[in-house]
Amino acid sequence: MNRFEDVWEIYTEAFPVDERRSRISQCRIMNNTRYQIIPYLREGQLIGFMGLWKLPSFVFLEHFAIKKEFRGLGYGTEMLKELLILHGERMILEVEPPENHVAQSRISFYERHGFSLNTYKYIQPPYEDGQRALPLFLMSYPKSLSKEAFDKTVGELYQFVYEVSADKA
């Protein structure tokens, strides 16, 4: 992708250190055939991007960010609608617990687009040494997950995205 530097700038601005990879790790996964970055352009200008994984049972929307100056203008809705048309058979994403206004707004945004909040216990493993594991929730599209489906989903995330076993996270 020719716009890596621009995407990297949005990525590092939008996500705290514990919720992102190092540059070296990000470059490494760009060679993984299951992973892709989808830049979102308008009139040749990068508005935002999505980083997603095509896993055996679902598509995982790992990172979704809009450039700061374009937030709140409807681009996120456009991007998500397009993604659901292309990959909406079964989609998973992670969100922070609804403990503050920003997290609550983010969850509401996804719920307006048909995602369900699954409140089973979930820990996002650290991306890098020295980072923290994070208590998050999984959201699923087009419906909520049974406990059995949730456990299978976590297993795939840990195996393919975080490269850890479920018992070590």
Q: What are the DSSP calls for 53-103, one per residue?
A: EE-SS-EEEEEEEE-GGGTTSSHHHHHHHHHHHHHTTSEEEEE--S-SHHH
Per-residue pLDDT, 168 = 57
Per-residue pLDDT, 3 = 79
Per-residue pLDDT, 77 = 97
Residue closest to 140 by CA, chosen among 169, 163, 107: 107
Per-residue pLDDT, 148 = 98
Per-residue pLDDT, 130 = 93
Per-residue pLDDT, 1 = 46
Per-residue pLDDT, 7 = 95
Run means of pLDDT, 10 residues per run, the chain, 169 residues: 84 95 95 96 94 97 97 96 92 97 96 98 96 97 98 97 80
Handedness of CA 21, 22, 25, 27 (dihedral sign): positive
